[in-house]
Amino acid sequence: MLRAVPTLIALSLVPAVAWADTVIATRTIRPEEVLTNADVRLSSGASAGVYSTLDEVIGQEARVVLYAGRDIRRGDLRPPALVARNAVVSLIYRQGGLEILAEGRSLARGSVGDTISVLNTASRSKVLGVVQPDGRVLVQ
């Protein structure tokens, strides 16, 4: 009886793998490509840290190369970028009730909620801002 207890404890520490549908790429997808219905399909198999429904991945952007026939892991995708590197963007400065709009040039790509560097074209100074849903950048 004493030998059975350590075995049960050891078995309970092994991570469980659930058998369910997993999303796999149907072709090799390069970083920054947005996934469509034709790019992915469901496959049955073990799922640990992978997507399990097509709705979760369609419309998302690849962060890394996704190889055909392989599972798409949770960290492989992100929301599509609204701001491209070197694009002209509107900067918003807010302080209390005051709001100032300026023009800037993005120094990085960014999705909604990402903090990116932007060059203020008027002052030639580099600022950090958060990408807003409308594509403007809120400087804090």
- The CATH number that applies at residue 54 is 3.90.1210.10
Instruction: Note the pLDDT tens digit of each residue in 69-127.
Output: 999 999 999 999 999 999 999 999 999 899 999 999 999 999 999 999 999 999 999 99
pTM for the full predicted model:
0.67
Q: Burial letters for 104-124: b for 16+ Cβ neighbours within 10 Å, e otherwise?
A: bebeebbeeebebebbbeeee
30 lies in the same domain as 64: yes
Is there a contact between 44 and 19 (Cβ–Cβ < 8 Å)? yes
Selection from 131, 132, 104 nearest residue 118 by Cα = 104
Same domain for 99 and 57, yes or no, is: no
Residue pLDDT, tens place only, 52-71: 899 999 999 999 999 999 99
The answer to whether residue 2 sits within a structural domain is no
Report the CATH number that the domain containing residue 122 is assigned in CATH.
2.30.30.760
* CB distance 77 to 40 below 8 Å: no
List the domain range (segments joined by +) for residue 41. Answer: 18-78
Separation between Cα atoms, residue 53 and residue 126, nearest integer Å: 41
Cβ proximity of 138 and 129 under 8 Å: yes
Q: Is residue 94 part of a domain?
A: yes
Q: CA torsion 51→57→62→67, rounded to 10°?
A: 60
